[in-house]
Amino acid sequence: MSRGHIPSFTWANIFHLCTILCMLITPAVMVKHENFKTCEQSGFCKRNRAYADTALSTSNWNSPYTLDPASIKFNKGVLTGTVLKKLATSDENVRLPLTITFHEAGTARVTVDEERRQKGDIELRHDSKARKERYNEAEKWAIVGGTAVSTGAALSKDADQGTTRVLFGQGSKFEAIVRHAPFGIDFKREGETQIQFNDRGLMNFEHWRAKVEKPEVAAAEGSEENQTEDTAVKTDSGEDESTWWEESFGGNTDSKPRGPEAVALDINFPGYGHVYGAAEHTGPLSLKETRGGDGKYSEPYRLYNSDVFEYELDSPMTLYGSIPFVQAHKKDSSVGVFWLNAAETWIDITKSTSTANPLSLGIGNKVTTQTHWFSESGLLDAFVFLGPTPQDVIGSYAELTGFTELPQHFAIAYHQCRWNYVTDEDVKDVDRKFDKHRIPYDVIWLDIEYTDGKKYFTWDPMNFPDPIGMQKQLDQRERKLVGIIDPHIKNEGGYSIVDEMKSKDLAVKNKEGTIFEGWCWPGSSHWIDCFSPKGREWWKSLFRYDKFKGAAKNMFIWNDMNEPSVFNGPETTMPKDNLHYDNWEHRDVHNINGMTFHQATHDALLARDKDEDKHNVRPFVLTRAFFSGSQRLGAMWTGDNQASWGHLEASIPMLLSMGISGYPFAGADVGGFFGNPDKELLTRWYQAGAFYPFMRAHAHIDTRRREPYLAGEPYTQIIAQAIRLRYSLLPAWYTAFHEASTTGAPILRPNYYVHPGDEKGFAIDDQFYLGSYGLLAKPVTKEGEKGQEMYLADKEKYYDYFDYWMYEGPSTVKVAADLDTIPFLMRGGHIIPRRDRPRRSSGLMKFDPLTLVVVLGNSGDAEGTLYLDDGESFDYKDGAYIHRRFHYQGSTSTLMSEDLGVSGKRTKEYLKTMEKVRVEKIVVVGAPDAWRGKTEVEVSEEQGGKSSAARQVELEYHEREAGKAAWAVVRDPGVQVGAGWKIAF
Ligand code: NOJ
């Protein structure tokens, strides 16, 4: 610049100024996009999208895959054959063994492998020690049942030319029509096509090939940082090989010793307008299209478990966990697909509309949802569920991958966490303050600072000199402690855990086969390899009371950072060419990694408490990373959210998505992790949190303290009310968990699940039902909101939970939502169990009496169930539980309690402990006019199979008031909760 030159004020300057201003006013919390790959930056994603673009823009595209008809065999529910991939440059076909298994449960499984890799007939580059096969052990981790092969499945004689037709499922209502050329499968239910494989011809199986060495220049180009289009290196057949042999991102180079090996398939859902699932993402429950356009994403949904710092909302970016399971839904029909692959996976979604009849003027337009799945390595392995109800699909998926283990009762109550409670005295002080302010809580949590220098299984001697004393104080009110234990083990000589792990050779290895070293909270660290059976055994031993000194019986565990998070690794995780047990590359198992750690800790707690006494307690382990199957091991939470209204709002679709993905024990940090919520936001968050299946407040180390009693009035009281609401409904929550643990049913249920025929409600994801109780909530998630519109899907009566204000569906109604009010309705036809006596912890409510709320609707009948057990042991497996069905029959005005239980060896003993637990109150909402003037009901009990003589008990009838329902109450009918009885009104 010459002297005296006055810079001109250009657009560039204005732009820079704006950028600086924007940085000053927008909060500093923002995901670092540059740390995570876009599809364009992920070699196989880019290749598969390009493949799809070519296929879809080529008229008469011919998928190069055919099923060799001569190879097809069908035996006892299993079809096998060989799919041949035709190569452009050679006459030799690639042989891909195909297996289609038809299961008793009505699911079908399609598995495609690659013969050459299967036989180990390939060469690895860079002297790699990695396995040569495609990873075939995902099922070992994910699948636990539902795989009995259908003996009834049969080949049909009347298949069209060039197809093989298999009938399966009950009454042969399902069919698979396997097309030979090009290879594809149509799955039908009752004659109608529901799911199509390779209909658009996007199937792509990157077969093994040897690298043809290129002149230096091209090779160097191919390894440039964050490759983009410019670096494309073409093979003789015109394919872009720039990311086949090695791939760099953010300063890390992946050596890819097996070359390109992605698998891809297009899966269509003809006639289906909505798809749900593919958790974990922040967007709406009904998944968006991903190929650009107004309001759509331009990136595919990504599944690659990652520690995404300050994650953003409404995004297909990957998060901490992956469940590659989607359900498609249309009026009165649900179907689903589970893509069993643990490698990095992306899913593109598009929708197409076809007009069935040109004269129909839009009526009868059919939307088809088209999905396109691609994974970096492993098998092509997909399960198909043909419905027809949402519960059929979720139930079958849950049968395969396992049900939520019934948690200990404390685990579904309120948890108080922050990073960190700094001393044992601090913990005891918080504990006392909850009591002082009469706010119930069950669990207090310790984050990483409790350890001695981030060495897990140790306590900071200065700040936690007396962990046992601290846990004793908690135990006085039946409260628990949860401590964090992460998978990174501090690399410090003399730390016995790392020394042992090294000497026993139990850590994850780098590509050279020596111990992998990376950076996490403790600084330099190594990672326990829980794929190794010996590693898991050793991990188990660390939790024994004599080993983990200072841990008492009321201490449970939090597993964090298990994606795994590696601060200096590519995309904040492990290099893909790292090696796990049995020399599987990290690339193959990445999305399962977190689950193996969760499993090891879960099993460790099981082992820890086994035989301590005869009532072994159930483990509780929270995880951040997860995969299909993690629901068997404990709760998950949605990681590091922010104290913003947007994050509060986003938590609801995220948790609904977890529920319909078979993992209902899910929560989000109440209050928001990063930042300081103002009091209104904090209050609203507790009101929403009271409906999270896993309800835990948590906060970042840099935030101000925000225990509920610090908020001040009226906030503290309103928050306490929300927590008490949770506690009073614990019998309903526990029953919903029991249902989830036996059927896989979600605990929070979206509209489409409860009303599968109501098209208007298919995309609704800001309100939900709790269990099977017809309890409909729509927590406020917007600042300053005073009223909430709620959508009532069906012709039924709904009542305000608190004041019995009446609403009539189907309609959209406005429900009051002042700061002290949660929009919460009861649908007619249900009976809701509660425990209304406020206590300090849920453990102290164990023998409290129950209240039953009978909500009468249009039919005049109502029903509901109740499940109770000791809330801590596995004795329920021996019959130590109460399972009742309450049924109110309008025609006879009678309320009955029936047993749904099965007697076992501990039934009697348990019932004895519950003998004194009674129903202390029955409230009938929407009480009939005919009860006016009624003052008594007749109560009779079941004794030895007979009814006792009837007793008279007082009834109080409350007249209808403007807008509100009439209601009646019977106080102390004197009946036991675990016994049969009848009340005639
Ligand atoms: C990350 C977790 O997501 C967060 O909840 C925790 O507080 C920190 N790690 C520290 O352990």
SS3 331: coil
Ligand 1 neighbour 522 (Cβ under 6 A)? no
Distance 828 CA to ligand 1 centre (A): 42
Among residues 350, 369, 401, which one ends one of the domains? 401
pLDDT in tens, 684-726: 999 999 999 999 999 999 999 999 999 999 999 999 999 999 9
* pLDDT of 579 above 60: yes
pLDDT in tens, 831-890: 999 999 989 999 999 999 999 999 999 999 999 999 999 999 999 999 999 999 999 999
pLDDT in tens, 437-470: 999 999 999 999 999 999 999 999 999 999 999 9
> Can you give the pLDDT at residue 358?
53
Q: Are residues 139 and 275 in the same domain?
A: yes
For the record, the structure tokens of 380 come out as 């092509």
Of 307, 560, 649, 872, which one is the catalytic site residue? 560
* Higher pLDDT, residue 151 or 49: 49
At residue 5 the predicted structure's pLDDT band, cuts being 50, 70 and 90, is very low
Q: Is the pLDDT of residue 233 over 80?
A: no
Same structural domain for residues 383 and 416? no
Please state the rounded mean pLDDT for residues 497-512.
98
User: Which stretches of 777-903 are DSSP H helices?
Assistant: none
What ranges in 72-157 are assigned the alpha helix state H? 115-118, 138-142
pLDDT at 745 over 60: yes
Confidence band of 612 (pLDDT split at 50, 70, 90): low
What is the chain's mean pLDDT, rounded? 94
Atom of ligand 1 nearest to the CA of 673: 5
> Do 425 and 469 reside in the same domain of the chain?
yes
Ligand 1 pocket: which of 280, 446, 447, 622 to mutate (most atoms <8 Å of CB)? 447
Atom index in ligand 1 nearest the CA of residue 698 equals 5
**Which listed residue (442, 640, 765, 800) is catalytic?**
640
* Ligand 1 atom closest to residue 484's alpha carbon, by position in its atom list: 11
Q: Is residue 518 included in any domain, yes or no?
A: no
Q: Count other C-beta atoms under 10 Å from residue 837's C-beta.
A: 13
Q: Specify whether the CB–CB gap between 527 and 487 falls below 8 A.
A: yes
448 lines ligand 1 (CB under 6 A): yes
Ligand 1 pocket, 447 CB below 6 A?
Answer: yes
On whether both 730 and 817 belong to a single domain, the answer is: no
320 lines ligand 1 (CB under 6 A): no
Q: Does a structural domain hold residue 729?
A: yes
For residues 595 and 711, state if they share a domain: yes
Q: Which of 504, 627, 514, 529 shows the shortest CA–CA distance to 581?
A: 529
Q: Of 381, 401, 421, which one is at a domain's C-terminal end?
A: 401
* CATH number of the domain enclosing 386: 2.60.40.1760
What's the maximum distance between 2 C-alpha atoms anywhere in the chain? Answer: 109
CA of 668 to the centre of ligand 1 (A): 12
Q: Out of 529, 563, 669, 869, which one is annotated catalytic?
A: 563
The total domain count for the chain is 3
Is any atom of ligand 1 closer than 6 Å to the C-beta of 197?
A: no
501, part of any domain:
no
Residue 699 Cβ contacting ligand 1 at under 6 Å: no
Pairing of strands 967-976, 946-947: unpaired
**Does residue 856 lie within any of the structural domains?**
yes
C-alpha torsion angle, residues 617, 623, 627, 629 (rounded to 10): 10
Residues in the chain: 985
Strand spans (E) along 223-317: 247-249, 252-254, 263-269, 274-277, 301-303
Locate the ligand 1 atom nearest the alpha carbon of residue 486 and give its number.
11
- Residue 563 is among the residues annotated as catalytic for this protein: yes
- CB of residue 560 inside a 6 A radius of ligand 1: yes
Contacts 24+ apart (CB under 8 A), 888-891: 888/831, 888/854, 888/856, 888/861, 888/862, 888/863, 888/924, 889/861, 890/856, 890/859, 890/860, 890/861, 891/860
Active site residue 529: no
817 and 853, same domain (yes or no): yes
Instruction: Say yes or no: CB of residue 639 within 6 Å of ligand 1.
Output: yes
pLDDT average, residue stretch 774-783: 98
C-alpha of residue 285 to centroid of ligand 1, in Å:
26
Residue range 794-811: mean pLDDT, rounded: 98
Let me know if residue 318 belongs to a domain: yes
> CATH number, domain at 430?
3.20.20.80
Q: Are 730 and 823 members of one domain?
A: no
Whether ligand 1 lies within 6 angstroms of the CB of 419 is answered as yes
What's the CA gap between 933 and 924, in Å, rounded?
Answer: 15
Rg (the chain; Cα; Å): 30
Domain of 815, CATH number, reads 2.60.40.1180
Mapped onto helix, strand or coil, the DSSP state of residue 970 is strand
Give the 3-state secondary structure of residue 25: helix
Same domain? For 418 and 352 the reply is no
Ligand 1: atom nearest CA of 701 is 7
What stretches of 26-89 show up as alpha helix (H) in DSSP? Answer: 43-57
Would 445 be classed as within a structural domain?
yes
How confident is residue 223, by pLDDT bands cut at 50, 70 and 90? very low
160 and 74 share a domain?
yes
- What is the spatial distance between Cα 339 and Cα 351, in angstroms, rounded to a whole number? 20
Q: Is 53 a catalytic residue?
A: no
Ligand 1 contacts CB of residue 421 (under 6 A):
no
Residues 646 and 707 in one domain: yes
Q: What pLDDT was estimated at residue 104?
A: 87
Q: Rounded to the nearest whole angstrom, what is the distance from the C-alpha of residue 186 to the centroid of ligand 1? A: 45
Ligand 1: which of 418, 482, 560 to mutate, judged by most atoms within 8 Å of the beta carbon? 560
Residue 256 backbone class (left: φ over 0; alpha: ψ -120 to 50; beta: rest): left
pLDDT category at 648 given cuts 50, 70, 90 is very high
Reply yes or no on whether the pLDDT at 19 is more than 60: no
Give the nearest ligand 1 atom to 624 CA.
3
Distance 592 CA to ligand 1 centre (A): 20
**CA nearest 483: which of 450, 516, 508?**
450
Residue 39 covered by a domain:
no
Tell how far the Cα of 560 is from the centroid of ligand 1, in angstroms: 7
Are residues 900 and 817 both part of a single domain?
yes
pLDDT tens-digit series, residues 421-431: 999 999 999 99
Which of 280, 307, 419 to mutate for ligand 1's pocket (most ligand atoms within 8 Å of CB)?
419
Residue 226: pLDDT band by 50, 70, 90 thresholds? very low
| Span from the CA of 449 to the centroid of ligand 1 (angstroms) | 11
> Which residues form the domain of 790?
780-984
Q: Are 829 and 862 in contact (CB under 8 A)?
A: yes
Last residue within a domain, chosen from 345, 372, 401: 401
* Residue 250 located in a structural domain: no
The answer on 805 and 689 residing in a single domain is no
> Which atom, in ligand 1's list, is nearest to the CA of 669?
5
Pairing outcome for strands 768-770 and 797-800: unpaired
158-177 pLDDT per residue, tens: 889 999 999 999 999 999 99
3-state helix, strand, coil in the chain (%, to 5): 25, 30, 45
Instruction: Provide the pLDDT for residue 224.
Output: 43
Return d(Cα 347, Cα 335) in angstroms, integer: 17
What's the token pair of residue 959? Answer: 């007249």
